[in-house]
Chain A
Amino acid sequence: MNRAAPIVAMLWESWRLTRVEAAGRLALGLVAGSFAMLLLGTKGATAAFWMLIAIHSMIWFSIAKLNGGRFADGYKPGFPLYLLFRQPVSTATIVGAAMAYDALSCFALYLVSAAALGLVFGQPLPLFSMTLCFVAYHLAYTCCQWSTRNRIVQWAGSFAFSVPLLLMLIDNVKQPLQVEFSPAENALFAAIGVVSIVLTVAGVARQRRGDSVEVVPQPKTESIGFPEWLINVFRFPCPTSSAARAQVWFELRSSALPILTIGLTLAILIVLLHALGIPFAPFRVVAVALSVLAVPIMVFTLGANAFGIRRKQARIYASAFEMTQAYGTAQMSALKLLVRTACVLIALIALGLSLWSTGPLLSAWGSFPMGDGDALPGWLNARQKLADTIGGLTWYACAAWTLVATIAVAGQVAWRAAAEALRVRHPRLVSTVQWVPVAWSIAAMLIVVVATNEIVPEFVANVFLKASVWVSGAALVFSAIYLLRRGLTERMLTRRYAGGVLAISVVFAAALLVGFSSKNVLGVLWPAALIVTLGALAPWALNRARHA
């Protein structure tokens, strides 16, 4: 057997793990970049460039989740390909192959996307000049994530190197769009790469020997994604008076309160960073980045997986401990969604207040250079307009907007929970369905482009868009009826639950009518049908995971 064989096997394994995610990222980059190019004219190339950087600078989630999956479902930090420790291959080879695959494959995706967008839209994007910067970033990132099992070191380290690298990149982006690094900067990137590899090999070798601080991930133990100190921030005894109260206690302690704590911490951090940005200008970028990312993190990441579906290597499963408790599936589903939604909403309110309170601090910055100009006056104007709009609303419009936002957050939490639960039995189907919006976006964009260029008549694009709304609306209504009927027939849903879901969707529709003063019936019925479908889908999905 030659020396290359293990490396080939490891690279093949990495490819098998990441190929679906790679296709998704490629599609996402091309769609987002194309929209930017189409909509933003001459500034489109810059926007597309930063979008591609954001999409392809992330390490492979498909590999990272081998440690237990997503946030809050049993993630254990450290080197994710730890099963390779049993193979008769040196740590340097294992780590080197994985790091090289991560850095080079992500860079290849960036290159292909950037080259394709540049070619199609005639606005070239930086290509090979990004090589060392991009690869160094990936190697340093994987070093922070893989070389240690200490989460504080992981995240503090990632933050510590990514901000300066981002600032260096911002500094070297010139208009018309090009990126040029000096030889000294490229040498620094190379040094960062080499040091990262050495540190990662040393760190993973400690994990392989069992010398690292935390224990090696144990695939047969039930764990939760949050560190213990975070779970123990709020400690109170489990009520024994009823199963519902005990279930609420379980949800609060295991995931909801840690999420709320993270949200409140982010809210405080945003204000602090804005304040630090007054005397220290470099903090302004971090403050803005955190302000932009905080809400998506809260809604899309921390609001996900409310049912606590777990992953270990390729296995997706519901916790047998929870699923064997004597509690009805619909009630369990409703409680889990309600508790998670409540905590996400409270955290969002805290974030909103925090963002709002940064107004005077932003004014004190004086300026925030972005591209060729100062972005600050625009932001302050936008805030003022938002304040005026909210101030001009009637009380019932305010109430309607609050209701719409609340139910929309609950719908998002329900959808993410249902999708994760359905993966237990139908992983491929869920992955496929989740890409439908991306596929639709690509199709819509292509049709709009060809219609704009008068290759096909404009009515074709209109028919496509209207047909999409009607077809998806009909699909939602039929799905809702099917799921409710099936749930009631199987005695999985109670009439009270089904009635509650219908009532919430009616309230949602009414709030939409009042809030938007909408006369478009379809524009109200479509989201209302979506809420009913999600309300019926969530317990149905949990039921499928519980009784696989």
Chain B
Amino acid sequence: MDQPVVDVNGLSRSFAHKKALDGVSFRATAGQVYGLVGSNGAGKTTLLKHLLGLLRATEGSVRVFGLDPVRDPVGVLSRVGYLSEERELPEWMSIDELLRYTQAYHPNWDASYARELLETFALDPAKKIKDLSKGMRAQAGLIAAVAYRPELLILDEPSSGLDAVVRRDILDAIVRAVADDGRTVIFSSHLLDEVERMSDHVTMIQQGRVTLSGALDDVRRDYQRSRVRFTEHFERPPVIDTALAMEGGGRSWSVIHSGSPEQFLKSVRDRGGEVVESRDATLEEIFLARAGRGRPQAEAA
């Protein structure tokens, strides 16, 4: 079996008595796009910082290309491209200086690819970073992160605060980078439609724990959204086996459920209902159900 690009095992990390990561395990293999989703403060950035060696694992282990990013930062960082949510680029540099500076660290810098991206984003290389808008900074940072064709691209909330057009540009560039030559992308986002559109795999983190992880298609197949009609009128959501969240009222309810469909059907019938319609749940519906929003205040058993 191929060595995973990223292998995180039982990673825990606390900041001032608050557990940011709690026994997180995560694997990424080559040529795939991994989306990390979770609410604010869930631990996505903390996990990504561990992959870059910006945080030291206090419990558990982190391996990137089989190397410890803290003990061997050069070995790891020379193969990783990174764009942070905070766009931490030196403001005094021009875009051209930024790209030349980054190029010096990466002998496999692809100058024509960098030029192509500059043209795609219509960025003026002479422009200072401080004079760029937030979106343009993200574009400049992305060029610096991908122009040496890193084996692993880590993007922390790449589209945070960006308008839809810039978001598309960035995501298109990621798609191209991945499609080009089977490299790996790990990105975090709270825009679930973006993750759903871009990812091959999705990992959901809640309060420092991985609550869901798998191939996106499998995840979506595992979760269904069904419209259910009951003969009886319910003030509160009725208790249905495998239901994660329910919305609605009276006789008509929408249910997000996972696991065995037969068990769900049986449970609905037992309550005197029938499934009117069923489809795969969207990632947003799964996320909200897993995050506990829309979780039913179920009737007393």
Contact = CB atoms under 8 A, between A and B. Distances in A.
Given A243-B105, A250-B101, A327-B74, A548 B92 contact: no
Contact of B73 (A221, A319, A326): A326
B70 to A, nearest CB: 5
Interface residues of B, number: 33
A320 B54 contact: yes
B78 A547 contact: no
A324 B103 CA distance: 14
Interface string B72-98: 111001101010101111111000010
A500 interface: no
Interface string B42-54: 0000000000111
A231 B104 contact: no
Contacts, number: 99
B56 interface: yes
B18 interface: no
Q: Summarize A's interface: helix, strand, loop or mixed.
A: loop
B101 A224 contact: no
A279 interface: no
Interface string B212-237: 00000000000000000000000000
A246 B109 CA distance: 14
B106 interface: yes
B72 A240 contact: no
A240 to B, nearest CB: 5
Contact of B55 (A241, A329, A548): A548
A253 interface: yes
Contact of B86 (A232, A320, A328, A491): A320
Interface in A484-513: 490-492
B82 A491 contact: no
B292 to A, nearest CB: 30
Contact of B105 (A220, A231, A325, A329): A325
A240 B102 CA distance: 8
A222 B90 CA distance: 5
B100 interface: yes
Contacts of A491: 71-72
A220 B87 contact: yes
Given A326-B78, A547-B70, A245 B104 contact: yes
A242 interface: yes
Interface of A: 220-224, 228, 231-232, 237-243, 245-246, 249-250, 253-254, 319-321, 323-329, 490-492, 546-548
Interface of B: 52-56, 70-74, 77-78, 80, 82, 84, 86-92, 97, 100-106, 109, 128, 130
User: Nearest 6 CB-CB pairs, A to B?
Assistant: A246-B104, A326-B78, A326-B77, A238-B100, A222-B88, A547-B56
